[in-house]
């Protein structure tokens, strides 16, 4: 259904187009956050992940069938980016052409749904490192972001730094949950 070159990640806009075509009301950022939270918890069979996603997106069986190939590719791309030891992972967010307030809402949605997906997929027995706990607390706080400001160049810089922080925080959490995959230089939170 989605036209894109192979080996490139689905963009926010492509996922938004898929959701629009299937009459799915969820935002691509919220879905990607939830998906990355679940994928961070460990290996999930693709069939189970499609079932979990269909429930989360409230898809009918027909919608699920229509989206399966695109969603499978999106899952694979997302997991590959999370596992990349070069820390190439980026949250799926709208382009910078959208107003800053809309982008802040999207990153808040991404973070709150990442925490939700992580909580849904993780057992009670796991202990995070100090950096991992800090990252979880910060992502939870970012997920509660409120948009009440004037947009300016400083706001744009702050947004760029926030996105970079989220990217690194997710890598710290993923590294905590997958200690055997840690590179020689795991990201740190400051």
∠ CA(7), CA(30), CA(185), 5° rounding? 60
- DSSP reduced 3-state for 55: helix
What is the rounded distance in angstroms from the CA atom of residue 110 to the CA atom of residue 74? 16
State both tokens at 139.
């992502």
Q: What is the largest CA-CA distance in the chain?
A: 46
Name the one residue in this structure whose structure tokens are 């409230």: 58
Note the pTM of the prediction, 2 decimals: 0.86
* pLDDT tens for each residue of the chain, 190 residues long: 444 443 357 789 999 999 999 899 999 999 999 999 999 988 788 888 888 998 999 999 988 888 888 888 889 899 899 998 787 899 999 999 999 999 999 999 999 999 999 988 876 667 789 999 999 999 999 999 877 766 677 888 999 999 999 999 999 999 998 887 755 444 444 4
pLDDT at res. 5: 41
**Distance between CA atoms of residues 110 and 143, nearest Å:** 7
Q: Which CATH number fits domain 12-181: 1.20.120.740, 3.30.360.10, 1.10.10.10, 2.60.40.1120?
A: 1.20.120.740
Taking Cα atoms as reference points, which of 103, 95, 121 lies closest to residue 43?
Answer: 121
Domain ranges of the chain: 12-181
Phi, psi (degrees; rounded to nearest 5) at 56: -65, -40
CA distance 189 to 96: 25
């Amino acid at each position: 259904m989605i036209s894109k070159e192979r080996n490139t990640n689905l963009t926010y806009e492509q996922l938004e187009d898929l959701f629009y075509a299937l009459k799915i009301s969820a935002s691509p950022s919220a879905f990607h956050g939830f998906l990355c939270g679940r994928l961070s918890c460990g290996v999930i069979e693709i069939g189970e992940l499609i079932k979990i996603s269909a429930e989360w997106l409230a898809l009918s069986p027909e919608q699920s069938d229509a989206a399966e190939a695109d969603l499978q590719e999106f899952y694979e791309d997302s997991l590959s980016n999370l596992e990349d030891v070069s820390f190439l992972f980026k949250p799926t967010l709208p382009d910078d052409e959208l107003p800053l307030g809309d982008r802040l809402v999207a990153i808040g949605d991404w973070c709150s749904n990442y925490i939700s997906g992580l909580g849904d997929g993780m057992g009670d027995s796991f202990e995070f490192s100090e950096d991992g706990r800090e990252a979880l607390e910060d992502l939870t706080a970012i997920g509660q972001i409120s948009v009440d400001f004037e947009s300016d160049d400083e706001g744009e810089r702050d947004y760029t730094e926030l996105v970079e922080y989220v990217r690194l925080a997710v890598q710290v959490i993923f590294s905590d949950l997958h200690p055997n995959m840690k590179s020689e230089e795991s990201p740190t939170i400051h």
